[in-house]
């Protein structure tokens, strides 16, 4: 017995793995699978496409460009950067109920928030409430790291510095009087952003944490005074600030400004005349940018976008067409081959 073992000491193991005989499924792209598969996928895609297309059609969107490029625009007077604290009013008319909840966005175009060096110009340690980085912001923030007096800028960096600072008020005009539409600014940012990602330093009052620092040069007031109405909405967890800091992927983007879901407007904006009061601060014309206000409601799939529905329809139809083509080709080439 021992001798036998010795004689086959070098014998490889006879297992399915070592002998490369693992049980396996060897699928083939055979006509029986591919052609019906394409038909099925095509039909499914068409179904999704129709659903998307129908849904997106039902979504109402209202866009108002208030950059003030054209002379006719009410905001033309504000487009001159020398004017300070300019306020302009845009009037619009809804001829039917704008179903709620209505979302209020501001939009910028030709604005490169996705520019790499702009994007990295922030201090995440600082934003997560690390006081060391209040005194010494990261070098990524240059040139918005220290001011001329070598005082650290908090929040530092280009993104924070360029925060969007136009403000809006919406009025419904009922019989010549302006009835303010309540705008809800809570929960417009991701929950994770103001609960996890960004934290204020645990110093009370918050103001003391900012001792020895300066506010960004473009900011009219320091970070701890961003929202005078709600003390919890200040510092780095201010929702407007968070929305701005979450940079857009593409040069044309919208950012959520407010929600309209309260009081009389919980069901949406009734038909009628409205006036939008804009505090025009943010310069965009120097780089050929545009500013917009967008009112939109949403569906299960989000906002209005016809692209996806159409794309699904096109691809679905192509699948069906291709399955027919494949069937023809298969019928033509298959039979002589089998012989």
Sign of CA dihedral 296, 299, 300, 302: negative
Q: How far is the CB of 253 from other proteins (least distance, A)?
A: 6
Would you list the DSSP string of 32-48? HHHHHHHHHHHHHHHHH
Which residue is associated with the tokens 């009389």? Answer: 264
Per CB under 8 A, contacts with other proteins among 147-206 are 158, 161-162, 188-193, 196-197
Q: Does 123 sit near other proteins (CB under 8 A)?
A: yes
92 versus 115: smaller Cβ distance to other proteins: 115
* Closer residue to other proteins, CB minimum distance, 52 or 206: 52
Q: 72-94 in b/e burial notation, b at 16+ Cβ within 10 A?
A: ebebeebbeeeeeebebebeeeb
Q: Are 27 and 290 in contact, with CB atoms under 8 Å apart?
A: no
- Distance from C-alpha of 54 to C-alpha of 11, rounded to nearest angstrom: 68
Residue 329 makes contact with other proteins by CB under 8 A:
yes
Q: How far is the CB of 39 from other proteins (least distance, A)?
A: 12
Please state the closest distance from residue 204 (CB atom) to other proteins, in A: 21
Per-residue binding string, other proteins, 203-242, x by CB under 8 A, is ----------------------------------------
Residues 7-66 that bind other proteins (CB under 8 A): 7-14, 18-31, 34, 38, 41, 45, 48, 52
For position 143 contacting other proteins by CB under 8 A, the verdict is: yes
Q: How far is CA 64 from the centre of its chain?
A: 19
| Calpha distance 57→310 (Å, rounded) | 12
Angle between helices 306-338 and 31-57 (to 10 degrees): 170
Least gap, CB of 140 to other proteins (angstroms) = 9
Candidate ranges 91-99, 220-228, 272-280, 300-308; the one touching other proteins (CB under 8 A): 300-308
Q: Which of 170, 256, 278, 293 binds other proteins (CB under 8 A)?
A: 256
């Amino acid at each position: 017995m021992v001798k036998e073992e010795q004689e086959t000491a070098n014998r490889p193991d006879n297992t399915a793995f070592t002998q490369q005989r693992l049980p396996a499924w060897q699928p083939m792209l055979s006509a029986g699978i591919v052609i019906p598969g394409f038909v099925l996928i095509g039909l499914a895609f068409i179904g999704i496409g129709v659903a998307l297309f129908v849904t997106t059609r039902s979504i109402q969107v209202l866009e108002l460009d208030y950059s003030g490029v054209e002379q006719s625009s009410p905001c033309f007077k504000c487009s001159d950067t020398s004017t300070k604290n300019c306020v302009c009013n845009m009037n619009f008319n809804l001829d039917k109920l704008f179903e709620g909840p209505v979302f209020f966005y501001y939009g910028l175009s030709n604005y490169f928030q996705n520019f790499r060096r702009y994007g990295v110009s922030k201090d995440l340690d600082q934003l997560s409430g690390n006081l060391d980085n209040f005194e010494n912001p990261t070098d990524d923030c240059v040139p918005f790291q220290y001011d001329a007096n070598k005082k650290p800028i908090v929040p530092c960096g280009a993104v924070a510095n360029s925060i969007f600072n136009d403000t809006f008020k919406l009025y419904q005009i009922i019989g010549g009087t302006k009835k303010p539409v309540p705008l809800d600014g809570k929960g417009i940012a991701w929950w994770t952003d103001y609960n996890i990602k960004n934290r204020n330093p645990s110093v009370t009052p918050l103001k003391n944490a900012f001792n020895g620092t300066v506010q960004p040069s473009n900011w009219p007031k320091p970070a701890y005074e961003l929202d005078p109405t709600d003390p919890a909405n200040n510092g780095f967890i201010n929702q407007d600030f968070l929305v701005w800091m979450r940079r857009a992927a593409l040069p044309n983007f919208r950012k959520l400004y407010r929600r309209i879901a309260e009081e009389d407007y919980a069901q949406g904006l009734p038909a009628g005349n409205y006036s939008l009061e804009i505090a025009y601060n943010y310069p965009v014309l120097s780089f050929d940018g545009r500013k917009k206000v967008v009112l939109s409601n949403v569906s299960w799939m989000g906002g209005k976008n016809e692209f996806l529905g159409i794309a699904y329809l096109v691809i679905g139809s192509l699948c069906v067409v291709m399955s027919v083509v494949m069937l023809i080709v298969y019928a033509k080439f298959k039979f002589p081959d089998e012989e």
